[in-house]
Amino acid sequence: MIEKINTFIHRLKELYEKAEEIGREVYYYFFRSQVTMSNSRLNMCSTCPLKYKFYYEDGLKGFPSAPLHFGSVIHKALKEYHLKFDLKGQHGTLDDLIREYEIAWKDVRAEMLDSVSGPPMHRWKVALAEAGCTMEEVEDTMRKFKIIYNTMEDEAIAKKRGLKLLEDYFKDNQANPNRIIAVEKPLTITIKGLDILAYIDRIEKTPEGEIEVVDYKSGQRVQDEETILLGGDNQALIYTMMVEKKWKKRLRNFYYYYLKNGNKVPCNPPKRLKDKIFNELWETAQDIKHRRFEPHQGPLCGWCDYEVICPTWKGNQAPFKGIFRAARERGRMTFSYSKMSCYRNCPYNYKKLYIDKISPKPKNFFAIGHACHETFEEFFTYPYQPSLTQLRKMYENHWHSEGYRDVQEERKFFEDGWKWVSSFYKKYYDGHYLKAAGVELYFQLPIGDDYIIIGYIDRLQKNLDGTYEILDYKTDPKLRTQEELDKDLQLTSYYWAMRQLGIDVKQLSLEFLQFNQRMTTKRTPEDIPVFIDEVNKTIGEMASKEEELKKHPEKADILFPPKVNKYCGGCDHLIGCPMENEIRTTYREKVMNLEEKKGSEDKEEDEKEEKEEEKFEK
C-alpha cells in the first residue's frame, strides 16, 4: 500500500513538472514580448545558448569558484565602504575599507555556498538523473558545490592579493576631486524597444557638475584604450551605449578602473561598433524569446559547469567528456596547437599572452578571417548548394566590425573578403557542392606525456567515394610551398585527432582564400610518432620554463626570449620588442602584416565620418 502511494505521489510530481514546463513554453512564446538583455546574458548566450538555458531558464546555478568569489568580495567591499562614508559626506580610513573587506570575504563565501543548497541542489540532482550520469559523476558534481578554493594556501594568496588591490585603491582615490553619488546602481535603458540592464559600480559628479561612470576590473587581464577603440570588448560597447543615452551631454567619461595596476582606461568606441553590438543584443534576445538553445561545443566546454549534463558529449566523443577540466584541476598541462605554435614561433610573445595575460588587440586580419570562416561554416551545413546570393547574405551576417581603424578601412576589407569568398565559390564549390560531414569540429584528447590537447577542425568532408578529407581555410597573405604543407604539424594534429575518434582521413587540404587556391597533402600513421615527440618536447619545455619563472621572475628574458617569425608584423608586442629594429629592417620582407611605426595620435570622429559610418551600416 505504501509503495502504491509513493508511486502515485511520484507520478503527480512528474505531471506537475511537465505541466510547469508546458506552461513556461506557452508563456515565453505568446506573452513575453521582450527579453531584458545584459552583457552577461549576451556573453553566455554567444558562448553557448544551451548553457544560457541551463543557467537562466532551468535555474541550474553554476559551481562556486575562486575568481567569482574574489571579484564579488572586492565589489562588495568597495560598495559598502562608499555607502557608509562617501555617500554620507564622510571620509573613511584605510582601516575602514579593510574592515569591509574582511566582512565581505566571509559573507560572500557564505552566500555562494547557501545559494546552491535546497531547491537549486534538487534541480541539479534531477538534471543529472535525466542526463543518465554515473554515480561517480553525480558525486563529483555535488563535491564541486562545496569548494571555492582548492587549498587553504590558494585562498590565503588570493586574500593577500585582494588586500594589496584595496590598499592601492585607497591611496589612488585620496586625491579624487569628484564626489561619489551612487554605487552598484542598477541601470535599465530601453533602446528601440529593447530593454538593457547593467549594474554601474560607481557614479561620480565632477566639480563642474558633469557625470563620470566607473566600472571596476579586479581580474588579471588588462586592456588598453586601443583595444576598446577597435571593438575588443563587448561590455565597453554596451555600457558606453547605455550611459551615453542616460546622461547624454552631462556625461564626461566612462572608464574601466583596473585595480591590478590602478589604470583608468577611457571607453570611447566609435558609433559603428555600438550599432553593431546593439544588433547582436537584439538578435540574441530574439533567439532567447523563441528558445533557440542549440549547444556550441568548444574549448570553453572544459570550463563549463554543465559539461557533465550536456548532450553534445556522446558517441565517439563520450569517453573524453570532462578530461580538460579534470586535467586543469590536477595541474596537468593543457594546450591547443595554436598555443604550442605560439611558443615555438616566439617564446617572448607566448609569455605576454599566456603568462602575463595581456589581452590580444583586435586586428583587421583576424576579423576578416573570422568572417570568412563563419560564412563557410554555415554554407556547408545546407543539404543543397546555396546560391551566390545566399552566400552573400551569410557573409554579411557573419561580418565582424572589430579591429578596423575607421569605416574606410572596414569597407575595403569587406569588399576584399567578399572577393575571396565569391571567387572560391565559383572555382571550387559551384556545381561540386557536398554537405560537410562536420564543421568546426571540436576535440579534446589525451596525448603524449600526460597532456591534453584541444582544437577545432574547420571542415570534415565525406567525398563521393566514401573517403574523408579535412579542409582548413587560410586568409594568410602568403602562399605556402608544398614542402611546408607536407611538414605542417597542425594538419598532422588533425589527422591524429580524427584517428583517435575512429575516422581515417585520406587527405588534408588548405584553402588559401586570398590566392583562390587549394593545396592538398597526405598523412600516414608513420607521421604520428614525429608529432607526438614534438608535443612531448615542446609542451614539456613550456611547462618546465613556467615553473622556473615562478621561482625566478628575474629570469623572464632568458627563459622566454624573442624569436623572429613570419607573424612578427602583426604582433601586439612588436613595439618595445628587443628585436624590433631587426624585424623592421633585416627581416622586413619575411614577415606578414608589418605596419609602419606610428606615434600616438588623437582619434576623434568628426561629423563626416559619422555619416559615412551610418551609410555603410545601412
Determine the Cα–Cα distance for residues 335 and 238; give it in Å rounded to an integer: 32
Determine the Cα–Cα distance for residues 528 and 132; give it in Å rounded to an integer: 36
Q: What pLDDT does residue 396 have?
A: 94
Identify the helix (H) or strand (E) that includes residue 334: strand 334-336
Q: What pLDDT does residue 95 have?
A: 96
Report pLDDT digits (tens) over 264-310.
999 888 888 888 899 899 999 999 999 999 998 887 887 889 988 99
> What is the tally of structural domains in the chain?
1
| Strand 194-205 relative to strand 179-191, pairing | antiparallel
Q: The C-alpha cell of 336 is what?
A: 591547443
DSSP-assigned states of every residue in 446-483: EETTTEEEEEEEEEEEE-TTS-EEEEEEE--SSPPPHH
Report pLDDT digits (tens) over 80-128.
999 999 999 898 999 999 999 999 999 999 999 888 778 888 999 999 9
- Residues 256, 215 contacting (CB under 8 angstroms): yes
Determine the Cα–Cα distance for residues 301 and 322; give it in Å rounded to an integer: 8
Report pLDDT digits (tens) over 548-600.
999 999 999 899 999 999 889 889 899 889 999 989 988 888 887 776 554 33
Q: What pLDDT does residue 164 have?
A: 95
- Residue 106: inside a domain: no
- Residue 145: inside a domain: no
Nearest of 359, 331, 326 to residue 546 by alpha carbon: 331
Q: What percent of the chain has pLDDT over 90?
A: 61
* Owner of C-alpha cell 505504501: 2
Report the pLDDT averaged over residues 408-417: 95
pLDDT at 601 over 50: no
pLDDT at 34 over 80: no
- Residue 411: inside a domain: yes
Say which range, 330-334, 430-434, 472-476, has the weakest mean pLDDT.
330-334
**Hey, which residues does 443 pair with through a beta bridge?**
455
pLDDT at 258 over 90: yes
Determine the Cα–Cα distance for residues 232 and 236; give it in Å rounded to an integer: 9
- Residue 381: inside a domain: yes
- Residue 384: inside a domain: yes
Confidence of residue 612 (pLDDT cuts 50, 70, 90): very low
- Number of C-beta neighbours around residue 395 at 10 A: 22
Report pLDDT digits (tens) over 484-493.
999 999 999 9
Confidence of residue 181 (pLDDT cuts 50, 70, 90): very high
Q: The C-alpha cell of 262 is what?
A: 590602478
Q: What pLDDT does residue 31 have?
A: 46
Q: What pLDDT does residue 174 have?
A: 86
- Residue 449: inside a domain: no
Report pLDDT digits (tens) over 194-252.
999 999 999 999 999 999 999 999 988 888 888 877 777 889 999 999 999 999 888 99
Written in H, E and C, the secondary structure of 574-586 is CCCCCCHHHHHCC
Q: The C-alpha cell of 248 is what?
A: 547624454
Report pLDDT digits (tens) over 40-83.
999 999 999 999 999 999 999 999 999 999 999 999 999 999 99
Nearest of 472, 446, 431, 497 to residue 324 by alpha carbon: 446
DSSP-assigned states of every residue in 334-357: EEEHHHHHHHHH-HHHHIIIIIS-
Q: Which domain holds residue 417?
A: 364-429
Mean pLDDT of the chain: 87
pLDDT at 26 over 90: no
Determine the Cα–Cα distance for residues 260 and 220; give it in Å rounded to an integer: 7
pLDDT at 545 over 90: yes
Secondary structure class of 297 (helix, strand, coil): coil
Burial category of 373 from C-beta neighbours within 10 Å (exposed 0-12, middle 13-18, buried 19 and up): buried
Confidence of residue 382 (pLDDT cuts 50, 70, 90): very high
Determine the Cα–Cα distance for residues 422 and 439; give it in Å rounded to an integer: 19
Determine the Cα–Cα distance for residues 202 and 205; give it in Å rounded to an integer: 10
- Residue 368: inside a domain: yes
Residues 6+ apart with CB under 8 A from 176: 204
Q: What pLDDT does residue 19 have?
A: 62
pLDDT at 616 over 60: no
Determine the Cα–Cα distance for residues 515 and 479; give it in Å rounded to an integer: 7
- Residues 272, 28 contacting (CB under 8 angstroms): no
Q: What pLDDT does residue 360 have?
A: 85
- Residue 485: inside a domain: no
Determine the Cα–Cα distance for residues 410 and 413; give it in Å rounded to an integer: 5
